[in-house]
């Protein structure tokens, strides 16, 4: 999670992992959070696989602060930074195979900058890691 001359962003912003992988979100600079698009996290749409465990970190402002989440359910997970979602600070993790869940369709009910910032699922599957911003 980074803030620099390129803006505020996740790096990587797209990632392919296997089920059971624990992903570490590390605050490099700025004040950031990582939050799954899920109705349990405020008034957000479901953009993680049905039945998957959502996550919500606090906002971290200290450098090297870490939040971890283990991804058990196959599918596509979209997430955002609470203070910077409106600026397009979003990310996508594909766990195993996409599976046709809620995040495999284009988002319609998100801020414009967020909708435009997700890496494509095909790019994530091909490259395995998509750098920000």
pLDDT in tens, 94-122: 999 998 999 999 999 999 999 999 999 99
Is residue 133 very low, low, confident or very high in pLDDT (cuts 50, 70, 90)?
confident
The full 3-state SS of the chain, as one line of letters, equals: CEEECCEEECCCCEEEECCCEEEEEECCCCCECCEECCCCCCCCCCCCCCCCCCCECCCECCCCCEEEEEECCCEEEEEECHHHHHHCCEEEEEECCCCCCHHHCCCCCCCHHHHHHCCCHHHHHHHCEECCC
Q: How confident is the model at residue 2 (pLDDT cuts 50, 70, 90)?
A: very high
User: How high is the mean pLDDT of the chain?
Assistant: 97
- Right CATH for 2-127 from 3.40.640.10, 2.60.40.420, 2.60.40.10, 3.40.250.10: 2.60.40.420
* Per-domain residue ranges of the chain: 2-127
- What number is the average pLDDT over the span 54-75? 97
User: Residues 8-32: what's their mean pLDDT?
Assistant: 97
């Amino acid at each position: 999670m980074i803030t620099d001359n390129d803006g505020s962003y996740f790096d990587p912003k797209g990632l392919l992992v296997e089920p059971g992988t624990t992903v570490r979100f590390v605050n490099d600079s700025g004040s950031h959070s990582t939050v799954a698009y899920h109705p349990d996290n405020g008034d957000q749409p479901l953009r993680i696989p049905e039945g998957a465990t959502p996550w919500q970190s606090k906002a971290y402002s200290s450098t090297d602060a870490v939040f971890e989440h283990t991804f058990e359910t196959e599918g596509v997970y979209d997430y955002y930074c609470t203070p910077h979602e409106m600026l397009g600070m979003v990310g996508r993790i594909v766990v195993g195979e996409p599976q046709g869940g809620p995040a495999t369709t284009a988002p319609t009910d998100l801020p414009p900058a967020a909708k435009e910032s997700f890496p494509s699922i095909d790019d994530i599957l091909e490259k395995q890691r998509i750098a920000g911003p």
